[in-house]
Structure 1
Amino acid sequence: MSENRDSRPRRRRPLRAAVGLLVLLAVIGYFAVQRASNGGGGAPYCTARMYTGDYDGSSVSYEISPEQAANAATIAAVGVAKGLPDRAVTIALATAMQESALRNLDHGDRDSLGLFQQRPSMGWGTPDQIRDPVYSAGIFYDHLVDVPGYSRLPLTVAAQKVQRSGFPQAYAKHEPDATVLTAAFGGDGTLECGGPEPTGPGDPAKVRSEMVRIFGEDGTHTIPLQTGLGGQTGQAGRDSVVGKNGPEAEVTLVEKANGGEPAMRRSRAMAYWAVANAKELGISRVSFSLRAWIAGQARGQWQQKGGTGAKDGDGDPHNASPGEVRIFMAR
């Protein structure tokens, strides 16, 4: 018996390993081509970038899925809308990265739910409220600002005073990536999202209502904001904006004049929130600060554009004036 068993041909394990490696490389190559195809119209992905050099353009980046980017953008936008510093946004993002990996979970330990794994039984709100990213981020910040000197505390200490986690040191490992996300959404960084152009029409009324819900409306909150729908704003040259697939609906947001850096910070948060939510909301283009992000083009990167009517922008009716964020959806 043993002699027959020994006389069998040996398995060619090195050959199998080589074949397995080739298959793996082929899969990786396929997804790389998908991401790069169609100028950014392949598989969806988002990259947050924080610039680290003054003049050389050096940066650090953090890559996440569109779902994660949308949730991170909402967390950051709520903090910016409340006028909180970058440190508060970083603490909130690192907490959500640890608790849910930036996914709006419908489950967790005991009755924990949502981005921050907040518990209805502990007074954080109803299950529906907790699963609303705007609400859950808002109530996290409300508890955070009640922590004396939170901005000077180590991130783990500040987060733990809000969360009461059984693993408080776990928050620390997310601080570097949370810092990159904070710079992308509220600082001098950028958010780039590649992936295909929306196949269906977006709903400008929904986009408008979400923006107002996060940032407030003129006269109702501490964040003055004017909003309008394309074709109804009464602004010259904006009633017939046409995109690649036909007429586009538009939501225009204009910060109050002379708002300084706080107003610009809000505008950046609005623009990048729109990019992060483009896949879900059917947004095809965002114009902001002489730049444009166009779904399915330039591998998801922002492109330099002229201001409204500027010669270098060929008078493109999609271009934004200073202080504007213009969001377009194909109808």
Structure 2
Amino acid sequence: MSKTASLPRRGRLLRIGAAVAVLLGVAGYLVAQYETGGGGAPRCTVTSADGDSYRMSPEQAVNAATISAVGTTRGMPERAVTIALATALQESGLRNLNHGDRDSLGLFQQRPSQGWGTAKQITDPVYAAGKFYDHLAKVPGYSRLPLTVAAQRVQRSGFPQAYAKHEPDAALLSAALTGRTQAAVTCSAAKGATPGDAAKVRTELARDFGPGVLPTNRDAGSGPVLVLPVASTVVAASTESTGGPQRTQRGWELAHWAVAHSSELRIERVSYAGREWTAGQSGNDWHTTDTKSDGVRLTLSK
């Protein structure tokens, strides 16, 4: 065989070798992602017992959990949280935007020029959610109105019917984030090398739920393990009993809030009521555990 005839064959062999190397690299990446609970960019998922699910980014999960926490802390019913979440899904996709139509900003695209607050205030998710609930509470019979009507009474949108398409996802999110159902809230973030900051976790909890959510003994929440008491955090504005089902609901609300904030706050493990979620675990699902605690137990990355 001539030297010139061997050149095409050598080229083909090099291309085949390169392709095999790429495939092996991809396979290795996928295996690593599977073993670390990855799968590309971190994602959070809410899944109901019926199999309905909603996927979102960690940023969206944090914002959804904040909207829910602000509502329940004010004693607003689950329907109010559903209306707020559907509105934020339509207006911003659950993202804290620094832009919008004219001077619209934030999760709900509220406008400084229309009296919603300053730009700095509106882009604070806790403030923005609170202002939305302030206006919603003034709508007579809002909980019995169609979601589009209730949301429109607050937002005055040019496209009021657009809120309707988000109602199923908002209802699923609110059922899980308010703790009414044990719908699984999971996030796929792998364990991080950056240690968690207990002081930051305490600050964010108090911002969303109020200071009553924190352990009364400050030393109990200053290390890598933070145990949130459940009985003492039941919303004071509620007319229901502070025991039994409501206590369990509050516990799951706090647990799901922690999972939603796991990437941001470096929360590595969340345990409650004999169930546990662990960052980086294959599948990222909740599992049965022998860990016993009177509250919601958060373990931070070390």
Give TM-score scaled by structure 1 length.
0.74
Q: Report the Cα distance in structure 1 between the residues aligned to 2:28 and 2:44, rounded to whole angstroms.
A: 18
Alignment-derived partner of residue 230 in structure 2: 255
Alignment-derived partner of residue 45 in structure 1: 43
Runs of at least 5 residues in structure 2 that lack an aligned partner in the other structure = 1-25, 233-241
> What percentage of residue pairs aligned between the two structures are identical?
54
For the Cα contact (< 8 Å) 2:46–2:176, is it kept in 1? yes
Alignment-derived partner of residue 215 in structure 2: 227
Q: 2:113 aligns with which of 99, 116, 121?
A: 121
For the Cα contact (< 8 Å) 2:269–2:278, is it kept in 1? yes
Within 5 Å, give how 1:129-140 maps onto structure 2. Answer: 129-140=121-132
C-alpha deviation, 1:46, in angstroms: 0.9
Alignment-derived partner of residue 81 in structure 2: 89
* 3-state SS, counterpart of residue 51 of structure 1: coil
Q: Report the Cα distance in structure 2 between the residues aligned to 1:252 and 1:87, rounded to whole angstroms.
A: 29
Cα deviation per residue 1:29-80 (whole Å; 9 max; x = unaligned)? Answer: 999767533244763111111223xxxxxx2111111111111111111112
Runs of at least 5 residues in structure 1 that lack an aligned partner in the other structure = 1-27, 53-58, 219-224, 240-247, 309-319
C-alpha deviation, 1:97, in angstroms: 0.3
Question: Over aligned residues, Cα RMSD in angstroms?
Answer: 2.7
For the Cα contact (< 8 Å) 1:49–1:60, is it kept in 2? yes
Question: Is 1:194 matched up with 2:191?
Answer: no
Alignment-derived partner of residue 325 in structure 1: 296
Q: 1:264 aligns with which of 239, 248, 265?
A: 248
Amino acid at match of 2:215: T
Q: Report the Cα distance in structure 1 between the residues aligned to 2:172 and 2:277, rounded to whole angstroms.
A: 20
Give TM-score scaled by structure 2 length.
0.81
Q: 1:208 aligns with which of 188, 202, 207?
A: 202
1:162–1:252 distance in 2 versus 1, CA, 3 Å: same
Cα deviation per residue 1:188-244 (whole Å; 9 max; x = unaligned)? Answer: 1220111211220111111112112222234xxxxxx342688x22xxxx99xxxxx
* 3-state SS, counterpart of residue 293 of structure 1: strand
Q: Which moved more, 1:199-208 or 1:31-40?
A: 31-40
Alignment-derived partner of residue 158 in structure 1: 150
Q: 2:59 aligns with which of 46, 67, 85?
A: 67
* 3-state SS, counterpart of residue 193 of structure 2: coil
For the Cα contact (< 8 Å) 2:70–2:129, is it kept in 1? yes
* 3-state SS, counterpart of residue 227 of structure 1: coil
Q: Which moved more, 1:123-132 or 1:90-99?
A: 123-132
* 3-state SS, counterpart of residue 328 of structure 1: strand
For the Cα contact (< 8 Å) 1:252–1:326, is it kept in 2? yes
Amino acid at match of 1:227: P
Q: Report the Cα distance in structure 2 between the residues aligned to 1:152 and 1:124, rounded to whole angstroms.
A: 25
Q: Where is the helix percentage greater, Structure 1 or Structure 2?
A: 2
Alignment-derived partner of residue 302 in structure 1: 286
Q: Report the Cα distance in structure 2 between the residues aligned to 1:31 and 1:152, rounded to whole angstroms.
A: 50
1:138–1:295 distance in 2 versus 1, CA, 3 Å: same
* 3-state SS, counterpart of residue 299 of structure 1: coil
C-alpha deviation, 1:118, in angstroms: 0.6
1:129–1:261 distance in 2 versus 1, CA, 3 Å: farther
* 3-state SS, counterpart of residue 285 of structure 1: strand
Aligned length: 269
Alignment-derived partner of residue 23 in structure 2: none
Alignment-derived partner of residue 174 in structure 2: 182
Amino acid at match of 1:60: D
For the Cα contact (< 8 Å) 2:202–2:214, is it kept in 1? no
* 3-state SS, counterpart of residue 54 of structure 2: strand
Cα deviation per residue 1:9-37 (whole Å; 9 max; x = unaligned)? Answer: xxxxxxxxxxxxxxxxxxx9999767533
1:272–1:307 distance in 2 versus 1, CA, 3 Å: same
* 3-state SS, counterpart of residue 228 of structure 2: strand
1:107–1:29 distance in 2 versus 1, CA, 3 Å: farther
